[in-house]
Copies of this chain bind each other. A is one copy, B any other.
């Protein structure tokens, strides 16, 4: 633990009302042998600590340092509050997550049996201390903030434990956060806009702030509705771009081509003010609220719209490319 001042690890807490376990990546600052700082955004674990603090009670927390990757991906979903994340992570393993009683609370608080290292402790009720500054997920250094404090009570460790680390503000941090969210958002859109094809939270926007959605649009206006669902589903999402199914939302330049050739900003861009955003977003002027933007880059269904150029396959086949370009230099043009 004295390797450095800052780790961003999965913290497990338990909703006192429903008993559901909630697992989330929270930031811990090294403050002493048995003391950690704790930063949370106002999401599920924050709700749990809030409920404990209302009764002036400490909140049990188990910090899971290393585990199978499926554990962490499960932790990064955007499941509704009240869903037991242990159950959901089990879905990732396709069998129940193996649990074991904690050192501190016994079977009143179970911890993952296969973790390499688990720190147990309590979030002290209504105590705040200065935390940070650290590099943060948007790829920026945040300011110091006044945040919670964890007092450690025990540590459970496997022999030869591995120490996994995610490099905050870099692609491994971003990708790990984005793809569980992509799945959740996709599922929500699918139920309302059946023609949805794919949802992508690109690395360029740190896997969180931009959401590119491709749909096979069947009636006009479905595109904006898909965008509203994405904004509603995940408060990290700030800018949504909706494209037609001929555009690959995983290729940013394809998405930008659609923005360039299919958008008239006075009709296709909508801005919504004062929505809950991400506390760590450096652009927010308010602590928690910000503006959201929708860009509908789909073609209208009802009026004709110019099709994309495609060289016919047989025309391509008739050109013996290998005769004009040395084979080791062949690269397909977009």
Q: Which A residues have a C-beta under 8 Å from some C-beta of B?
A: 42, 44, 47, 50, 79-83, 135-136, 138-143, 169-171, 187-188, 190-192, 194, 202-206, 208-210, 218-222, 224-226, 228-233, 235, 238-239, 252-254, 256-257, 259-277, 281-294, 296, 302, 304-309, 333-334
**Which residue from chain B places its CB closest to the CB of A169 in the assembled complex?**
B309
Cα–Cα distance between A269 and B224 once the two chains are bound (Å): 18
Contacts of A305 on B, CB cut-off 8 Å? Answer: 282
Cα–Cα distance between A261 and B206 once the two chains are bound (Å): 9
Q: Are A205 and B293 in contact (CB-based, < 8 A)?
A: no
Q: Are B80 and A274 in contact (CB-based, < 8 A)?
A: no
**Which residue from chain B places its CB closest to the CB of A142 in the assembled complex?**
B306
Q: List 22 A-B contacts (CB under 8 A).
A: A79-B191, A80-B188, A138-B306, A143-B306, A169-B309, A188-B188, A192-B232, A192-B235, A204-B260, A205-B257, A206-B257, A219-B276, A220-B288, A221-B277, A222-B276, A225-B235, A225-B275, A225-B276, A228-B228, A252-B253, A264-B284, A266-B291
Cα–Cα distance between A260 and B139 once the two chains are bound (Å): 11
Closest 6 CB pairs of A and B: A80-B191, A221-B276, A229-B232, A205-B260, A204-B253, A221-B289
> A45 → chain B, closest Cβ, in Å?
12
* Given known A221-B289, A232-B225, A257-B204, contact A265–B239 (CB-CB < 8 A): yes
Q: Are A80 and B192 in contact (CB-based, < 8 A)?
A: yes
Q: Are A210 and B269 in contact (CB-based, < 8 A)?
A: no
* Given known A220-B286, A266-B271, contact A231–B228 (CB-CB < 8 A): yes
Q: Are B261 and A282 in contact (CB-based, < 8 A)?
A: yes
Contacts of A260 on B, CB cut-off 8 Å? Answer: 138, 204-206, 208-210, 238-239
Cα–Cα distance between A272 and B152 once the two chains are bound (Å): 49
Q: Are B218 and A47 in contact (CB-based, < 8 A)?
A: yes
Given contacts A42-B218, A220-B274, 15 further A-B contacts (CB under 8 A): A42-B219, A44-B194, A80-B190, A136-B306, A142-B306, A143-B306, A203-B253, A221-B289, A225-B275, A225-B276, A230-B232, A265-B291, A266-B271, A267-B291, A272-B294
Contacts of A231 on B, CB cut-off 8 Å? Answer: 225, 228, 232
Contacts of A283 on B, CB cut-off 8 Å? Answer: 261-264
**Which residue from chain B places its CB closest to the CB of A187 in the assembled complex?**
B80
Q: Are A83 and B277 in contact (CB-based, < 8 A)?
A: no
Q: Are B257 and A267 in contact (CB-based, < 8 A)?
A: no
* Given known A221-B276, A232-B232, A288-B220, contact A139–B192 (CB-CB < 8 A): no
Q: Are B221 and A275 in contact (CB-based, < 8 A)?
A: yes
**Which residue from chain B places its CB closest to the CB of A305 in the assembled complex?**
B282
Q: Are B190 and A82 in contact (CB-based, < 8 A)?
A: yes
Cα–Cα distance between A83 and B187 once the two chains are bound (Å): 12
